[in-house]
Structure formats: C-alpha cells, structure tokens
Amino acid sequence: MAEISWGKTTQPQAAAQPKIASQVKMMVGIGLLIAAVAYLIISGTSSGARYFITVDEIVRDSQYVGQTVRISGAVIGDTIVYDSQNLIIDFTIANIPEETSDLAATLHNVVNDPSSSRLRIHIENQVMPDLLQHEAQAILTGTLGADGVFYATELLLKCPSRYEEAVPGQINGSA
C-alpha cells in the first residue's frame, strides 16, 4: 500500500509569497465564524436548557410550576391509563433517589414503597410506547401544572439491566 502514490499531486505554486493581508482576512473571517457559532450555541443553550430535577424536588418546591423541566421517575404499572382513541396517556411515577448503584433494584423498591414521592403524568398525542410498563424508568420533559399534574411533551423510557443483571432462579446442580 505504501508504494502507491495518491492521485495526481498538484505542484505547489513556485514560491508563493505569503500575503499578510489575506492571512489577516482569513483570521478575521474565522474569528467572525467562531463568534457566530458561539452565539448560536449560547442562545441555543439558554432556550433549550431543561433543568433535570427529581420528583421529590418538583413535588416539594412550588417554584417549578409552569417551568419547563425534565424529570425522571419509576413507572407504576397499575396507574397507566391509555386512551388510544385520542392518544392520551396518564400514569404515575415514583421518585428515584439521586444516588443509586443498582437501578433495577431501586426502581423495584421505590415503586413498592408507599412513602416515596409520586407525581401524576399526563401526555397527549403520544402512541403508547412499548417500553412504558411497570418499573421502567421514564424521563419526561414538560411543565408542572397548578393542579399538581405534570404535563409532558416528551417521553423517553428505559428498562434498565433487564438483560444485564438477571440471574437464573432456582436451579439444581449436578456434579
């Protein structure tokens, strides 16, 4: 492979004089471009930023009412009500503590713990996702209404570690 030359090579123009003026122009151009990109990123960040908060925080603190935020919680399977004619889903999620080592176990625990904070979710124009089921982790973007219901516009689901950490049940050994 090494012996091969790569296509036609255009010979560099003989001793092209570096023109300072055009280098300056180039730098100014790139500078302007960088400024434009920086503006884009900053304005995009300020309009697109979503605070990721816990169910605990949103339930406790009224400052979040009306603000667009992202929350994550454990789906409680029995509460899922799906109106397939109008594509409206209602369900309740339970708070997931911030520090968790085994997410699957945590999801299982909080769903079964009546003392964990809960939040009712309402989402419209949403086809029932296959992953929306008991003990899934839901990540939602939306706003908390004054009625205490979270009106979500975006729903992301994870079924963690089902495939990773499962252990076979009772099995008999044989020597």
Please, which of residues 132-161 interact with another protein by CB under 8 A? Answer: 133, 136, 139, 141, 154, 156-161
Among positions 78, 114, 115, 172, the unique one binding another protein when judged by CB under 8 A: 172
Among positions 62, 97, 128, 145, the unique one binding another protein when judged by CB under 8 A: 128
* HSE-up of residue 125 (Cα within 13 Å, Cβ side): 3
What part of residues 75-94 is at the interface with another protein (CB under 8 A)? 82, 84-85, 87
Cβ at position 166, least distance to another protein in Å: 6
Count of residues touching another protein (by CB under 8 A): 76
Closest by CA position to 155, among listed 98, 104, 106, 87: 87
Cβ at position 66, least distance to another protein in Å: 18
What part of residues 28-47 is at the interface with another protein (CB under 8 A)? 29-30, 33-34, 36-37, 40-41, 43-45, 47
Answer yes or no: are the C-beta atoms of 81 and 112 closer than 8 Å: no
Answer yes or no: are the C-beta atoms of 53 and 64 closer than 8 Å: yes
Looking at residue 148, what DSSP letter applies?
S
Looking at residue 62, what DSSP letter applies?
G
Question: Closest CB to another protein among 62 and 153?
Answer: 153
**Is beta strand 118-124 parallel, antiparallel or unpaired with respect to 149-158?**
parallel
**Secondary structure (DSSP) of 4-17:** ---SPPPPPPTTPP
CA atoms of 134 and 6, how far apart (whole Å) = 59
115 binds another protein (CB under 8 A): no
Closest by CA position to 111, among listed 138, 80, 77, 151: 77
Question: Closest CB to another protein among 70 and 120?
Answer: 70
Cβ at position 65, least distance to another protein in Å: 18
Question: Closest CB to another protein among 66 and 147?
Answer: 66
